[in-house]
A and B are shown apart, each in its own frame.
Chain A
Amino acid sequence: MKIMLNGQEREAREGETILEMCRREGIPIPTFCYYQAFGGQGACRMCMVELREEGQEQTRLVAACTYPIKSSVEIITESERIQRLRRTIVMLLARRAPDNPLMEALARTYSSPRLTAIEVEPPNCILCGLCIHACEEMGRTAIWSMFRGIDKRIGTPYDEASEDCIGCAACARICPTQAINLEEEGSTRRIWNKTFELVACQRCGKNYTTREELEYLWERTEYGKEKLCESCRKKTLAINMKSFQQ
Chain B
Amino acid sequence: MQIEAREYEYANDYKVLIESYSGKPEHLLAIMQDVQKHYNYLPRLAISMISQHVGIPVSRVYAMASFYKAFSLVPKGKFIFRVCDGTACHIKNSATLLDQLQEHLGIEVDETTADGLFSIETVNCLGACALAPVMVVNGKVYGKVSPGDVERIINEYGGQSYASQHKC
**Which of A's residues lie within 8 Å of B, judged by CB?**
140-148, 156-158, 160, 162-164
Secondary structure dominating the interface of B = helix
Residues of A within 8 A of B67 (CB): 146-148
Partner of B60, one of A141, A148, A158, A163: A141
Q: Is the CB of B2 within 8 A of A144?
A: no
Residue of B44, B59, B60, B63 with most chain A CB atoms under a 10 A cut-off = B59
Checking B1, B44, B63 against A144 with a beta-carbon cut-off of 8 angstroms, the contacting residue is B63
Please, could you name 28 A-B residue pairs with CB atoms under 8 Å apart, sorted by A? A140-B57, A141-B59, A142-B57, A143-B59, A144-B57, A144-B59, A144-B60, A144-B63, A146-B63, A146-B67, A148-B66, A148-B67, A156-B59, A157-B1, A157-B47, A157-B58, A157-B62, A158-B2, A158-B44, A158-B73, A160-B1, A160-B2, A162-B1, A162-B58, A163-B1, A163-B58, A164-B57, A164-B58
Question: Is A146 in contact with B62, judged by CB distance below 8 angstroms?
Answer: yes
- Chain A residues within 8 Å of B57, by CB: 140-142, 144, 164
When distances are taken between beta carbons in the complex, the residues of chain B under 8 Å from A142 are 57, 59
B binding-site residues for A, Cβ under 8 Å? 1-2, 44, 47, 57-63, 66-67, 73
- Contact status B63-A145, CB under 8 Å: yes
User: In the assembled complex, which residues on chain B have CB atoms less than 8 Å from the CB atom of A162?
Assistant: 1, 58-59
Q: Which residues of B contact A158 (CB under 8 A)?
A: 1-2, 44, 62, 73
Q: Is there contact, CB below 8 Å, between A157 and B2?
A: no
Once the chains are docked, how many angstroms separate the CA of A143 from the CA of B67?
14
| Cβ–Cβ < 8 Å partners of A144 in chain B | 57, 59-60, 62-63
**A149: min CB distance to chain B, Å:** 10
Q: Which residues of B contact A148 (CB under 8 A)?
A: 66-67
Say how far A153's CB is from chain B's closest CB, in angstroms.
10
CA distance A156 to B63 in the complex (A): 9
Q: How many whole Å from B151's CB to the nearest CB in chain A?
A: 34
Q: Which B residue sits closest to A140, measured CB to CB?
A: B57
